[in-house]
Amino acid sequence: MKKAIATFVILALGTSTINAQDDVGVRFGLKLSPNMGFVKPETKTIKSNGAGLGYTFGLMLELPIGGTGNYRFATGLNLNNIKGKWKEDYEYVASASPTDPVLVKELETDVALQYIELPLTVKLMTNEIGYMRYFAVVGAGNAFNVKAKSDQVVAQVDGTRADGKPIVSTFNELEDESIQDDIAMYKASLIVGAGFEYNFSGNTALMVGVTYNNGFTNILDTDGDKAKAHYLELSVGVFF
């Protein structure tokens, strides 16, 4: 997280030099982006269990590439909240008796993950058509986990049968349980999106876009389990 903030500060401090070489100028803005997130497991022990609603808000920063204003390096500093759900089939027995049948219960987990994110993207813009400019964006997301909580069902294990099956007396529902130790600190992703900007006056413009954030690193820091987090977001922002 410290590296992400340091990188952002260096970029911001360097804008005066870039602006001197390019009449288009550097832009700052704020955005708010509701998202729909889901977790895609990549091991047989856990399965996806639907999507959850989250949100992102933060600062946008754009640095011009060339003198036309059609190409920009777009970054920022975001607080990214995403949700996901997964489930697993849990095998257990009710007693130590060797004749006791093996039972299966589906355990569900709903997670809420919070990240500090530094996107590094390239923004390709059309010329102004009336008051509108359309754009496409592609690049990489770099996110650092700062909080992870879950609502989950866990087994109350009272021992182990001779064949290794856990003996379970009951199942408990836990809410807002911290699972940060089970979540990887760093998450990398591919960012692709498109949208438009409406110019009000001078440098003030409204931005609306749709972005897909495709995670490609494991978000779990547990033995043997692997899953990736993805989300689709609708971004609304204002450049000043």
Instruction: Tell me the domain boundaries of the chain.
Output: 2-239
pTM (predicted TM-score):
0.83
Band the pLDDT of 139: cuts 50, 70, 90. Answer: very high
The answer, yes or no, to whether residue 112 has pLDDT greater than 80, is yes
Q: What pLDDT is attached to residue 69?
A: 81
Contact 39, 228 (CB under 8 A): yes
In this predicted model, which residue has the larger pLDDT, 224 or 20? 224
Q: What pLDDT is attached to residue 205?
A: 95
Q: What pLDDT is attached to residue 24?
A: 60
Distance between first and last Cα of the chain: 27
Q: What pLDDT is attached to residue 175?
A: 94
Band the pLDDT of 45: cuts 50, 70, 90. Answer: confident
Q: What is the pLDDT of residues 14-42, one digit of tens each?
A: 443 333 333 468 999 999 999 999 999 99
Q: What is the pLDDT of residues 149-168, one digit of tens each?
A: 999 999 999 999 999 999 99
Contact 176, 152 (CB under 8 A): no
Report the pLDDT averaged over residues 40-57.
92
Compute φ and ψ for 12, nearest 5 degrees.
Answer: -65, -40
Contacts of 8 (CB under 8 A, 6+ apart): 61, 75, 76, 77, 118
CATH topology of domain 2-239: Porin (2.40.160)
Q: What is the pLDDT of residues 159-218, one digit of tens each?
A: 999 999 999 999 999 999 999 999 999 999 999 999 999 999 888 999 999 999 999 999
